[in-house]
Amino acid sequence: MNIGPIWRALMRSKSSYILIALQIAVTMAIIVNAIAIIQERSRLMSRPSGVDEDNIFYISSHAFGKDVNYRSLIENDLRDLRALPGVVNAISTNSVPLRGGGWSMALSREPGLSSDGSSVALYFTDQNGIETLGVNLVEGRNFREDEIVWSDPQSNRLPAQGIITRAMADTLFPDERGSVVGKTVYINENDPVQIIGIVERLQAPWNGWDGVERSILMPMIRQDPYVRYVIRVEPGLLDSMMPRVEEMLATSNRSRIVERMRTMNETRRRSYLGDSALVTLLSFTALLLTGITGLGIVGLASFNVSRRTRQIGTRRALGATRGSILAYFMLENFLVSSVGIAAGAVLSVALNVWMVQAFELTRISWYLIPAAMLMLWLVGQIAAAGPARRASLVPPAVATRAV
């Protein structure tokens, strides 16, 4: 079929076609960039935290009253927790990955304020921390019991040993080819810390932080009225163990409040609640725009069929087949869609460049534009198929009745 006459016919009444082409272009630009954002957010939400999320929960204890021996209370709680059937291990710590609140300090290779340090998330634990969290120790060793420091409320000095993540090691020693275990770094400006081990991954409490993979475990237990216990249980026992642990802590000491019991899976869900909502919103927007564009194409094609009923009947009377009428309207739609899609490809790239510069988003993947092109071509053809089929069913007698 000759495209020239179809194109010239489009140019004679181009306003409606331009509007549809613009709608397709805008739809494509929004869909492509929405999918790029969805991909980026989904990638962030799927990052492993490094801990055994399916079998870990944590609970807080807030002691009150006079003359409370916090060390004795914590030691008794940990002993009782570890003795519970079904509990793999338990620790007292200051925070957990993705919780949204915790400690961070600068860790550097040289002491002093002028040193070029990198922020690191701090987790306080004891020799049971590796097993309780389920992190993978890839180099070095675990803490020894004699290295555990019970915090002194009158001192800010930190322990002299630390286990860092692989990401933290790469940040501190980017050009180091050998092991960094045994090297000394400095935290809190001047406190020396010897690296005794490296874990594969342990995320920070803040998922939006650019240093989310940079963490350090330190052998310390804080003597504080507010304590957070992290408990790891045998697979499949999480739901049954949570109320048992809560009851045990509540009944073992009446001079405290037991609260904020939460699983790591729930912590992850809450941490990425905004990202999940954004993914849902953008997905709905992309589907809605695609549907609206399809309806616009249906409306325009139906209008053209109604407007050209006499012309279609005349062509049928002159020998045009149903197939040729169908092909004419499908090709007409293809041309309009192609103009909109070509403009949409340019607009998609321009919008993405602006978003990268303004919001530091990642660039769109190369395959998104051709995939969106094929999708919109398909939507256009499906949308035009119904009106085009109705046009092909117009009988030649329509031209005679019109006369």
Q: How far apart are CA 45 and CA 37, in angstroms?
A: 12
Tokens of 328: 């004419």
What number is the average pLDDT over the span 331-343? 88
% of the chain beyond a pLDDT of 70 = 92
Q: Does residue 30 or residue 116 have the better pLDDT?
A: 30
What number is the average pLDDT over the span 264-272? 97
Tokens of 16: 């409606």
pLDDT number for residue 85: 96
Among 224, 108, 96, CA closest to 162: 108
What number is the average pLDDT over the span 116-125? 91
Read off the pLDDT of residues 201-251 as tens digits, 9 standing for 90 and up.
999 999 989 999 999 999 999 988 899 999 999 999 999 999 999 999 999
The answer, yes or no, to whether residue 182 has pLDDT greater than 80, is yes
Tokens of 215: 């963490």
Can you name the residues that pair with 191 across neighbouring β-strands?
A: 187
Integer angstrom CA distances of residue 315 from 11, 266, 291, 387: 20, 66, 33, 17
Q: In 114-234, which ranges are continuous DSSP H helix?
A: 129-133, 166-172
Q: Does residue 319 or residue 93 have the better pLDDT?
A: 93
SS3 label, residue 362: coil
What number is the average pLDDT over the span 167-187? 91
pLDDT number for residue 1: 55
Q: Does residue 332 or residue 292 have the better pLDDT?
A: 292
pLDDT number for residue 2: 63
- Looking at residue 314, its amino acid is T
pLDDT number for residue 403: 45
Q: How far apart are CA 277 and CA 332, in angstroms?
A: 39
- Looking at residue 249, its amino acid is L
pLDDT number for residue 5: 62
pLDDT number for residue 103: 92
What number is the average pLDDT over the span 189-212? 94
Output DSSP code: residue 336: H
SS3 label, residue 22: helix
The answer, yes or no, to whether residue 78 has pLDDT greater than 90, is yes
Answer whether 330's CB lies under 8 Å from 314's CB.
no
Question: What is the rounded end-to-end Cα distance, in angstroms, of the chain?
Answer: 28
pLDDT number for residue 175: 85
pLDDT number for residue 113: 67
402 pLDDT band, cuts 50/70/90, is very low
The answer, yes or no, to whether residue 261 has pLDDT greater than 90, is yes
Read off the pLDDT of residues 289-328 as tens digits, 9 standing for 90 and up.
999 999 988 888 887 777 777 776 777 676 667 777 787 7
Unique residue bearing structure tokens 């001192």: 155
Read off the pLDDT of residues 11-59 as tens digits, 9 standing for 90 and up.
666 777 888 899 999 999 999 999 999 999 999 999 999 999 999 999 9
pLDDT number for residue 164: 97
% of the chain beyond a pLDDT of 90 = 64
Task: Break the chain into its structural domains and give their ranges.
Answer: 3-46+272-399, 65-254
Unique residue bearing structure tokens 């006369």: 403
pLDDT number for residue 17: 80
Burial 1-38 (b: 16+ CB within 10 A, else e): eeeeeeeeebeeeeeebeebbebbbbbbbbbbbbbbbb
What number is the average pLDDT over the span 334-344? 91
pLDDT number for residue 18: 87
pLDDT number for residue 128: 97
The answer, yes or no, to whether residue 81 has pLDDT greater than 50, is yes
Q: Does residue 179 or residue 5 have the better pLDDT?
A: 179
Q: Does residue 183 or residue 306 have the better pLDDT?
A: 183
Among 102, 89, 133, 100, CA closest to 269: 100
